[in-house]
Amino acid sequence: MTIVYIAIACGVLAVLYGLVTSQQVLRAPAGDQKMQDIAAAIQEGAKAYLGRQYTAIAIVGAVVAVVLFLTLGGLSTAAFLLGAVLSGVAGYVGMHISVRANVRTAEAARSSLQGGLTLAFRSGAITGMLVAGLGLLSISLLFWYLVGPAGGEPDGEEVIKALTALAFGASLISIFARLGGGIFTKAADVGADLVGKVEAGIPEDDPRNPAVIADNVGDNVGDCAGMAADLFETYVVTIGLTMVSIALLVTGTSDQLLRLMALPLIVGGVCIITSIIGTYMVRLGSGQSIMGALYKGFWTTAILAVPAIYLATGYALGDLNAVIGGAADATNTDVAASVARQAVGEGFTGMDLFWCMMIGLGVTGLLVWITEYYTGTQYRPVRSIAKASETGHGTNVIQGLAISLESTAMPTIVIVVAVIASYQLAGIIGVAFAATSLLALAGMVVALDAYGPVTDNAGGIAEMAGLPDDVRTRTDALDAVGNTTKAVTKGYAIGSAALAALVLFGAYTEDLKRYATELGLTPKADGTVVDFSLSNPYVIVGLLLGALLPYLFGAFGMTAVGRAAGAVVEDVRAQFRENPGIMQGTSRPAYGRTVDIVTRAAIKEMIVPSLLPVLSPIVLFFVMRAVAGTEAAFASVGAMLLGVIVSGLFVAISMTSGGGAWDNAKKYIEDGNHGGKGSEAHKAAVTGDTVGDPYKDTAGPAVNPMIKITNIVALLLLAALASTGG
């Protein structure tokens, strides 16, 4: 139990870091009155949006909670609510700091680049540590309660159900937050650009544009709050489901299981400490490279994680070379094929798990590098898009799409190699631990990402408040690397989803066996209860329908942005018409009105697509059960879970990398290449950037929580069917 206490202590430490650093950030000077007025408008808009968004989600959440209470009981419902509330808190607090750090970053950038960097990054680090800290606390405290005061066994049914419900709570919030925030931010961005840059011919962030505040609000509610909720979800699902799969798959004494299940928690804990150390390493070197400064922090965290994880594993498991768990399914040909079977069947050592976690760290590093290659201005992909812009809008988009398709290859190969290697070391449990160590670095990765919207806002405020040009130059430089770090987080989240998919599917099959009698399934000769072979046409049906989900979801997301942006365009046109003083600069536009319109549009548009992954497995199950019987229904639902990742991985990576590449191709041209700002190539690049916007900030990133939701709903459906007798 001491291991769990250490994890709780590390979670508390992360929250304390957040509180202390918040004080530092808020103590920094907030600029002159004009800057503060602008910041206040952004704060007000962001607060109003999140308030309404959470109200809408709360209604859905309440309905779900009632269903859970009736089917799974009070404890699971409480865990669900814990996950949901903390996911909301992580997003809300992140936004709260972000909308205050923006103006302070602009003010600090008046004097130096380092000043701006420090402030913006600290603000990001607060969000990062809160995501990891609250995530770790929620699982650790729940686990502590379940096996401590509640007196459950580590692999007891209540533990499994409650951890799954916790993950569901986090996921449900995050899909709404990711999608709602994503629609808001891109509708405001695209709408503001269309009517401002294109129609009125005024520059970006011009205070005469009534949508300019909405655009800045969007950065905070989408890229900060939405992203934080998403990564909170990823953290909780990955670590929580690693524990669940240990409970389901590994046999051992109660103490052995407790130690093994607490290992992901303590690994998360020590990596919070290395992340905190990493944040202090973010400092400009002599080359004044901002990316270099951020990388110093990241690499410090990752490298320190190696000994930290080694020590944590040793502490939790004792002798690293002793075989610590025989798999429950040693005789089960289902999870165990070829060479790797031995590893699961005969158990694994602490060293095996340590190496799996090193694989996870390696995957993180490689994904960061690959993302930078595909979205950085110094490499072939972005430059090829910039070059293609010379021949027009069409060729820019063609090349961008080609790059977005291509960008899926290397991450897929990295993930495939990681799956094979970690499976050979320790079976499904090995894969789960690789995913766990990947996520253990979440605090630092989120910090790098949450830094982006702060600098983006700082640039907007500098422009609107009419600060000197050199301030805007500094904030632009800070902002440019934000495009890459934002893309990194998304690749990281979806990469972890691919690893987690195998673990989630493992949990699904084990659950089926566990509840076989209640579900009316007859075990076959080989111990399995459902035929998941690719020769089973119901499996193919599930794979195809699962693969459809990210496409349909992407279509909804893209259309929603288009419609909501249209509403913005109409409002801004109306404001220009009703009040000619706006364009002359003599009267202030009604910023709040536009924010309000985007708010309503985003919330309306997020509901249906968010419910798609929640309802799909349920509908598929009941339709297939009616058509082809219970076993076929479970087979197709199971296959749907893998279909959604098999296609979602590619949809998400191509959208997020492609979008980032388009964005930076525009920036590359604005830096004076291929004719620079105002050239025909630049216009073509602006088109590409507009296309990339909903790709990378709305549809693409929301695929990650979508995949998780589908999986978790399926797990809960099983539990609900079992407890209600099918």
Q: Which of residues 481-500 bind a copy of itself (CB under 8 A)?
A: 498
Residue placing its CB nearer to a copy of itself in the complex, 388 or 669: 388
Please tell me whether residue 342 binds a copy of itself under the rule CB under 8 A. Answer: no
Q: What is the DSSP letter of 390?
A: G
Cβ atoms 343, 431 nearer than 8 A: no
CA–CA gap between residue 301 and residue 269 (Å, rounded)? 13
**Which of 322, 337, 608, 615 touches a copy of itself (CB under 8 A)?**
337
Tokens of 352: 């095996």
Kindly write down the DSSP assignment for every residue of 411-468, as one continuous string: HHHHHHHHHHHHHHHHHHHHHHHHHHHHHHTHHHHHHHHHHHHHHHHHHHHHHHTT--
Please tell me whether residue 334 binds a copy of itself under the rule CB under 8 A. Answer: yes
Please tell me whether residue 75 binds a copy of itself under the rule CB under 8 A. Answer: no
Touching a copy of itself, residues 493-532 (CB under 8 A): 498, 501-502, 505-506, 509, 524-526, 528, 531-532
**Which of 120, 146, 270, 539 touches a copy of itself (CB under 8 A)?**
539
CB of 138 to a copy of itself, least distance (A): 29
The angle formed by the CA atoms of residues 206, 595 and 42, to the nearest 5 degrees, is: 65
Please tell me whether residue 249 binds a copy of itself under the rule CB under 8 A. Answer: no
**Which of 303, 306, 405, 583 touches a copy of itself (CB under 8 A)?**
405
Touching a copy of itself, residues 669-688 (CB under 8 A): 686-687
Please tell me whether residue 601 binds a copy of itself under the rule CB under 8 A. Answer: no
CA–CA gap between residue 488 and residue 375 (Å, rounded)? 9
Residues 6+ positions from 478 with CB-CB distance below 8 Å: 105, 109, 113, 116, 117, 120, 290, 455, 458, 459
**Which of 220, 375, 408, 656 touches a copy of itself (CB under 8 A)?**
408
**How many binding residues for a copy of itself (CB under 8 A)?**
95
CB of 398 to a copy of itself, least distance (A): 6
**Which of 599, 654, 673, 710 touches a copy of itself (CB under 8 A)?**
654
**Which of 15, 480, 504, 639 touches a copy of itself (CB under 8 A)?**
639
Half-sphere exposure of 335 (CA within 13 A, CB side): 33
CA–CA gap between residue 631 and residue 523 (Å, rounded)? 11
Residues 6+ positions from 40 with CB-CB distance below 8 Å: none
Please tell me whether residue 635 binds a copy of itself under the rule CB under 8 A. Answer: yes
Residue placing its CB nearer to a copy of itself in the complex, 305 or 561: 561
Q: What is the identity of the amino acid at 50?
A: L
Residue placing its CB nearer to a copy of itself in the complex, 295 or 650: 650
Cβ atoms 558, 655 nearer than 8 A: no
CB of 302 to a copy of itself, least distance (A): 25
Task: Pick the stretch among 227-235, 301-309, 397-405, 450-458 that binds a copy of itself (CB under 8 A).
Answer: 397-405
Strands in 348-349's sheet, in edge-to-edge order, are 250-251, 323-327, 348-349
Cβ atoms 640, 386 nearer than 8 A: no
CB of 462 to a copy of itself, least distance (A): 26
- Map tokens 């909780």 to a residue: 236
**Which of 83, 181, 453, 643 touches a copy of itself (CB under 8 A)?**
643
Q: What is the identity of the amino acid at 668?
A: Y
Burial of 238 (0-12, 13-18, 19+ CB in 10 A): buried
Site string for a copy of itself, 314-333 (x = CB under 8 A): -------------------x
Task: Pick the stretch among 25-33, 52-60, 307-315, 560-568 that binds a copy of itself (CB under 8 A).
Answer: 560-568
Please tell me whether residue 722 binds a copy of itself under the rule CB under 8 A. Answer: no
Please tell me whether residue 31 binds a copy of itself under the rule CB under 8 A. Answer: no
Please tell me whether residue 44 binds a copy of itself under the rule CB under 8 A. Answer: no
3-class SS letters over 308-364: HHHHHHHHHHCCCCCEEEEECCCCCCCCCCHHHHHHHHCCEEHHHHHHHHHHHHHHH
**Which of 149, 151, 339, 584 touches a copy of itself (CB under 8 A)?**
339
Please tell me whether residue 428 binds a copy of itself under the rule CB under 8 A. Answer: yes
**Which of 253, 287, 534, 725 touches a copy of itself (CB under 8 A)?**
534
**Which of 318, 580, 629, 678 touches a copy of itself (CB under 8 A)?**
629
Site string for a copy of itself, 174-203 (x = CB under 8 A): ----------------x---x---x-----
CB of 333 to a copy of itself, least distance (A): 6
Q: Give, in order, the Cα–Cα distances in Å from 637 to each of 375, 618, 622.
A: 36, 8, 10
**Which of 150, 398, 477, 611 touches a copy of itself (CB under 8 A)?**
398
Please tell me whether residue 436 binds a copy of itself under the rule CB under 8 A. Answer: no
Tokens of 288: 């004044």
**Which of 23, 33, 522, 535 touches a copy of itself (CB under 8 A)?**
535
Closest CA to 452 of 688, 211, 227: 227
Touching a copy of itself, residues 371-390 (CB under 8 A): 388
